[in-house]
A and B are shown apart, each in its own frame.
Chain A
Amino acid sequence: MSGTKNVIEVRDLNVYYGKFQALRSINLDIQANRITALIGPSGCGKSTFLRALNRMNDLIEGCRTEGQVLFEGKNIYDPETDLLELRRRVGMVFQRPNPFPLSVAENITYGLRVHGITDREYLEEKLYRSLQAVNLWDELKDRLYENALKLTGEQQQRLCIARLLAVEPEVVLMDEPCSALDPVATARIEDLMYELKKDYTIVIVTHNMQQAARVSDYTGYFLLGDLVEFGETHQIFTSPRDKRTEDYITGRFG
């Protein structure tokens, strides 16, 4: 697969929770319009890594970050970084579907409103486009003012993705986005990811190795805070260079 440009370049990233070092000197490039999967056993640091990319770790008390994360060439850990703008451009989808207890429409427009957009026509246009992008428009066009908590789990997760797309991010970080969904819904969300990578760069953390193999272009294997191996997905799954990666993907542990 031919490489595209790097959207995110991680250089010597160390993350600590108090005295515990959660990530050790990580170096990794994330390419535009590709799906990068991060795999590894629980507690290996993959979610920590994901949160380091939009500085969500800042919200965790006692968390300290060293090194650089270059987004479009600029280090996001520079003091002058506009944090709100960064999080708009590098958005996040969480493990559990977590719509606000508001209507479908209010959920979608929430992000736009907090960024100061109030133009009704623009908001309606965005509502339509975002729901369309996650294939929810036809299902929900008559339920726009219903409470989002009434939707099914899959619809909720799609809605959360749409809510994120509404603010026009460039990178979408997904933290085990299918772990609360059944296999059919999971397959459909994976199809969606495939569609989305035309317009977005996606980084997904997953426990599910088949998922990583199915959807991703690149895979990184984390173990105990180290990035053991990173490369094109088919290479990682067919001929891993590191013995530890091989042990993990063949199911010998993890």
Chain B
Amino acid sequence: MDLSSIDPILLLASLMVAATPIVLAAIGELVVERAGVLNLGVEGMMIVGSVLGFVAAIETGSPWTGFFVAAFGGAALAAVFGFLTQFLLSNQVATGLALTLFGLGLAALLGQGYLGVKAPAFPDWHIPLLGDIPVIGPIVFQHDPIVYLGLAVVAGVWWFLTKTRAGLILRAVGENHEAAHALGYPVRRVRMLAIMFGGACAGLGGAYLSLVRVPTYAEGLTAGAGWIALAIVVFASWKPGRLLLGAYLFGGVTVLQLNLQAAGVAIPVEYLSMSPYIATIIVLVIMSTGGAPGSLGKTFHASR
């Protein structure tokens, strides 16, 4: 055992990177669920985002184009889900699961010919001044731009949901769609926009995996990250601040168990791997039924 070989600064820095795809996917899903829609297709939208982003980045040589295309593709896929559930009134759970399966298949198809290719370089930002602060600098201020984008989106969502009129309407739609409809709010339009925002975020999260974190495309790349994002939304009891905490907890455990192993610590990794899920279950038990948006997962039709 040689704990001195673990550099806590690098550990915390890699924690932020490890958490970023989950932060992005989860914050998108949080908005969707606050609007009263349960989209279980996060995994599918992530993997489609990862392959679209990767292909676009390879073809144009620009990772930024890749991220843009990934967000667009994720939103497009989410729009399919939105059309099915909001206009054709299909069951949200079944449609979401179908979206995941569809996404995995579509990604495998699109990814043919792009296997084993390295993504174009996406350099870290070394933020002047801030990045030079000892300890804090390397941990927080020397990452790639998407890490900061993730944080900005979380902050933006918090501000939007709690401080703006539009956010209040979105929450009203999620809590009680019939009341919101009676007040004259466009329930379906609000939900469609939320769903597409969620898809764009999931697409970005997926592209972060294929363009920065891995950085290559392989089939099944997301390996369940979308499901973790869904769990974290519940863990966070639909609050953006706690969501960040949950994602960092999860990212931290992932990184920590690898570091401990490499340092030769003989702790069974299963315990560490289990811990975020156990924490989620405990939070669910403590919260009981409170916290979930009132109309979550319910089908809305104006005539009822």
Q: Do A and B assemble together? A: no
B residues with a Cβ closer than 8 A to A are none
